[in-house]
Structure 1
Amino acid sequence: MDRQLTSRARLLKAGRRPYNRAVPSAEIAYLFRHAVLRDAAYQLQLPGDRARLHALALEATEACFGGRPPEPLPMSGTGSGRYQSHPIDARANDLATHAGLARKGLIGAAESQLAEMEAVLRHYLRRAAEHTESHFRIEASEVLWRELASLTTGAERGEVLRRAGFAARKAGRSAESERLFGESLAAFREAGDRKREGMALADRAGLSWDLGRREQADRDWEAALTLIRTSGDRRATGVALGQFATFLKETGQVDRAERTSEEALAIHREVADRRSEGIALGNLANLYLETGRVEKAERTYEAALAIHREVRNRRFEGVAIGNLANLCSETGRLERAEVLHEQALSIHREVGNRRSEGVALSNLGSLFVATGRTEPAERTFELALSASRDMGDRRSEGITLANLAYLFQETGRNPQAERALEQALSLQRAIGDRRTEGAVLGNLAGVYRETGRTKQAVGAFEHAIAIHRAVGNRRFEGIHLCDYAQVLIVEGRVEEAHRAFRTGAAILREVGDFKTLETKTSALRDSCSKAGVPPLEDARDSAPE
């Protein structure tokens, strides 16, 4: 029985309708009987006849698509390149099944026949794995890569296992990912493929970072870059440096991250790798934004977006548009930000990028909060959490929980806000994300302040501000210094409050976040009024004209 009908029969047996519209019971009964009869007819065939039927189905399907697609370059070879799609790929999983069942019926046949059908099986397993991966069906791609690994040897097997490990990591299956990366490294070492050993080490470094194993990640990155550089493959070196720059930024090594990003960008231009150049520009723009260079960040996002459109990289086009939307939000251009967020969300859904869909929904929810639309904001945050949890994306889940906590604060639900922030803080500490940990901790300090726990608030703000300075997060340093000033007013530490607010306000002006500055200025005036303290000079002069 073919897979589509089997799936359909399962739906019927489970009492669920495979259509959204109402289906008459007579039609259900007919479909069920048809499925059972087809399955019975199939099972009555002799094994050899069934194998020939599968081979015939394989041939007939290939003929419908103009024949078998060309054999791709070996995955372990130099210049193996990116996945080149073919119309037949939507059926590649079915064709792999036909090839596998046809091969089983060839037991005892000539070696050449067995080898030929096994090659067909490998061909379609690879196409199916790459197709599902490109459509963000991560768990399905992991299964297919692992099945392909059982049919490959040497460096080829190492590369297939690396791809399976990467899929397992994306799906949040950390233990399985670690095991697969270990097997991949062993295969590359046995085959003497130093470059791909370095690539596998880089992937394992990313997993170690996810798991909060900072020292292991540092060691793996150092070894990975040495191996990839010494291989002489400039394109691979540029890609690895770009990934390493992101790791450096996330661990607070901002200056080194910028230098590494610029080195990666120079290599991409040297080898005319436009796709990687666009990605590197987007990452560099993120760094500019997070260190307060707003105008430079906007220009760099626009340059990245132009390249993504030129090379038709829809996935990263959506990511770049979303990042540009965040910049517009942070600089008070909320109408444009909303339009851009909707564009990004549409692209993520078009290409099936569920992970980025969750991020875009969270950002859109924050924009709804900023514009006073609390009910749609809460619904949007719930959708974002669902997407992040489906993908095992703990970092994005934590960020969305923090955004949801802010909504709870704005609507007077401080206990819910505190619980959400504690969950978010636990997630970020578990994966070692210092930048987001600082932001969440500062927000939790705000809840302590609003619920009268000023001593706890002071300690949490000081800890958060120290993290912001360590990782170079200028915008949140400014925000939380201004919030810290309000707590100091309540504590009667007026001069310290003056210094904190003045420093925070200067940072917010520097990064161009005048809307937040205006909000913080108004909040400080209220705090001064309640405490019977004259308004601070900086609070009177901070709002933009």
Structure 2
Amino acid sequence: MHAEQAYAFSHTLLRDAAYQLQLPEDRAQLHALALRCFEDWLGVPELPRISDAESNDQPHASDPFAAELAEHAARGVESALKSTKQGLYLLRAGLFARRHDDSGLAMSAFLKAASCDGLEPHMQRRARLYAINEMVLCGMLEEAERHIMMLRDIAREAGDVASEFRTEHALAGIHWNRGRMDQAEEVLRRALSLAARSGRSDLASECRGGLGVLLCDSGRAGAALEHLIAAVEHFRATRANVRVALNLGNLALCYARLNDFDAARRYYEEALAIAQGEGARRREGMLQCGIADLFRKRGRPELAEPHYLAALKLLSETGDQRGEVIALNNYANLLAGVSRHADATKFRERAYELALEMGNPLLEQVALMGLAKTSSNAGRHEEAAARYRRSLDISRALGHTYREAASSCDLADSLLALNRFDEARALALRVLELCDSGVVGDERFKALVCLARIEEADGHLGKAENWILEALALPPTLETRLGAELARLFLARIQVRLGKLESARAHWRQGIRQLALIAPPEVVKTHTDEMRTTCKAEGVAPLDEH
């Protein structure tokens, strides 16, 4: 609460002096009076509903002052309701801060609530779980893991299956955020077993939804489908509609990864209709972003842009800064892809500002990657390298191996542009090490292509050919579809220089035919011109001539 709202005078030193001059019992009476005045004015809110079902607790007029009201309750005169009121307002303060994306304040309030004797033990356990979630958002992964272990022991001693389950779920999230997908999967499967043994189909379905997303992120979208479909069926049966929308959105993401655009769009649109019907505007915002991402990756920017704009409006209006950072960054990628670089820069800078305001290093790292792309696209490779290096430092500090791999690939590209071949090579090889140790996704493909480009630039054509062949041997994904065809054309040019003309011609024809299906004509022309320049330099006929 601001001083001018709380006292007749606002000078900090005068206020503190006046406060300290009060006798302890008088101060306690004044705190009790302040609390009573606020409750007479605004009413007494209900204790938030804490259950395993979805909760749609309505905000209360006192919520903006809840942290201060908890302090008044704690410092007021002794009464039977003193600690109960303190716990009530601490929980509401945490939920208010969480709604407004103030993770630091939310975490502090929830931790205090977890130790408040005025709350029932099950409420204390849930408050600690909420605090853990905010720690993860703040990037405090080690502290979060410590509290997870503490809460798991408390839950087991109390026989609280739901809380024990959620500690496992939270622990999987820690591993996930660090890019340790194998460990995350092991913990989620353990949680699924616990839910099944306890006869808790609701918890099992919640876990299957999480497991489905993890499998999808791990490059196993096909294996993810059965888990997400089972989760959707359960939540439909129990009429948990927002959870239905959540899992349908994740199901759409899986089908996008499986290159089934029609199914992905169908599930996104169904999820969006449910979210709109339920008034779940934050969920609606993220689904709009998902649909936009789908169109962007399919090369339909004109269809993607309205969905990004709708997502940004919803996420801004609902105060979902985390979602807004993601949407801003993805929209900027679309703008950069259609050469609207000034607009892309504006949105990336806004994403970075928001991430810094939130104090969230995970989001800061994402936004930094976007800004680095802006620098790279503008040919400012030293600036790009500095931003990618900062992104890499954050990833390593958080122990996030997937993001370390992504940052390393991009930093290697920038160093290649600066002709710093040895540094670039070391980073790309490090990415392969990370992939061998469990990092999944498209980073192996990117690292292999990067190594090929490094060796080609450094004059080692045979090594470049081997790296690119290894990249092309990987199963293609929606994300690597364009990159694979560009890599095939790059391979054809290398093989021309190596004198392997038959192989070069075969790779060229296959690559240019596929590129024409997914890229604008000017891109096809650029690569055709590059091929002809290479052939001319080698004294051979162009590969597109019979």
Q: What TM-score do the two structures reach when normalised by structure 1?
A: 0.80
1:135 to 97, 100, 110: 100
Tell whether the 8 Å contact from 2:352 to 2:367 is kept in structure 1 after alignment: yes
2:88 to 120, 123, 127: 123
Q: CA deviation at 1:375?
A: 2.6
Superposition pairs of residues 351-370 of structure 1, within 5 angstroms: 351-370=318-337
Say if 1:133 and 1:401 are closer, same or farther in 2 by CA, change over 3 A: closer
Tell whether the 8 Å contact from 2:180 to 2:401 is kept in structure 1 after alignment: no
- Provide the rounded CA distance (Å) in 2 between the counterparts of 1:82 and 1:502: 57
Q: Is residue 525 of structure 1 aligned with residue 492 of structure 2?
A: no
Q: Is residue 4 of structure 1 aligned with residue 2 of structure 2?
A: yes
Q: Which moved more, 1:372-381 or 1:183-192?
A: 372-381
1:441 alignment counterpart: 447
1:66-92, Cα deviation, whole Å (9 max, x unpaired): x2123344x4x6658454432322221
Q: CA deviation at 1:257?
A: 0.9
2:45 to 62, 69, 87: 69
1:87 alignment counterpart: 61
Q: Which moved more, 1:516-525 or 1:192-201?
A: 516-525
Q: Secondary structure at the match of 1:434?
A: coil
Tell whether the 8 Å contact from 1:485 to 1:498 is kept in structure 2 after alignment: no
Q: CA deviation at 1:297?
A: 1.5
Tell whether the 8 Å contact from 2:48 to 2:92 is kept in structure 1 after alignment: no
Q: Which moved more, 1:130-139 or 1:492-501?
A: 492-501
1:475 to 455, 465, 479: 479
Say if 1:156 and 1:340 are closer, same or farther in 2 by CA, change over 3 A: same
Say if 1:409 and 1:218 are closer, same or farther in 2 by CA, change over 3 A: same
Q: CA deviation at 1:368?
A: 2.2
Say if 1:325 and 1:7 are closer, same or farther in 2 by CA, change over 3 A: farther
5+ residue gaps in structure 1? Answer: 10-29, 107-112, 541-545
Say if 1:497 and 1:46 are closer, same or farther in 2 by CA, change over 3 A: farther
Q: CA deviation at 1:379?
A: 3.4
Q: Is residue 254 of structure 1 aligned with residue 221 of structure 2?
A: yes
1:307-366, Cα deviation, whole Å (9 max, x unpaired): 111111111111111122222323343234233222212222222222222211212222
5+ residue gaps in structure 2? Answer: 404-437
1:223 is matched by which residue type in structure 2? R
1:489 alignment counterpart: 493
Q: What TM-score do the two structures reach when normalised by structure 2?
A: 0.80
Superposition pairs of residues 249-288 of structure 1, within 5 angstroms: 249-288=216-255
2:262 to 295, 299, 309: 295
1:530 is matched by which residue type in structure 2? T
Say if 1:80 and 1:214 are closer, same or farther in 2 by CA, change over 3 A: closer
Tell whether the 8 Å contact from 1:322 to 1:360 is kept in structure 2 after alignment: yes
2:27 to 38, 50, 58: 50
Q: Which moved more, 1:297-306 or 1:393-402?
A: 393-402
Q: CA deviation at 1:522?
A: 2.7
1:105-135, Cα deviation, whole Å (9 max, x unpaired): 42xxxxxx2x421011111111111121122
Q: CA deviation at 1:222?
A: 1.5
1:522 is matched by which residue type in structure 2? K
Say if 1:186 and 1:453 are closer, same or farther in 2 by CA, change over 3 A: farther
Say if 1:304 and 1:52 are closer, same or farther in 2 by CA, change over 3 A: same
Say if 1:128 and 1:425 are closer, same or farther in 2 by CA, change over 3 A: closer
1:253-298, Cα deviation, whole Å (9 max, x unpaired): 2211112111111111111110001111111111222221112222
- Number of residues of Structure 1 aligned to a counterpart in Structure 2: 497
Q: CA deviation at 1:141?
A: 0.9
Q: CA deviation at 1:148?
A: 0.9
Tell whether the 8 Å contact from 1:265 to 1:280 is kept in structure 2 after alignment: yes
2:407 alignment counterpart: none
1:378 is matched by which residue type in structure 2? T
2:401 is matched by which residue type in structure 1? R
Q: Which moved more, 1:43-52 or 1:304-313?
A: 43-52
Tell whether the 8 Å contact from 2:348 to 2:367 is kept in structure 1 after alignment: yes
Superposition pairs of residues 378-397 of structure 1, within 5 angstroms: 378-388=345-355, 391=358
Q: Is residue 232 of structure 1 aligned with residue 199 of structure 2?
A: yes
- Provide the rounded CA distance (Å) in 2 between the counterparts of 1:296 and 1:436: 22
1:164 alignment counterpart: 131
- Provide the rounded CA distance (Å) in 1 between the counterparts of 2:314 and 2:501: 50
1:4 is matched by which residue type in structure 2? H
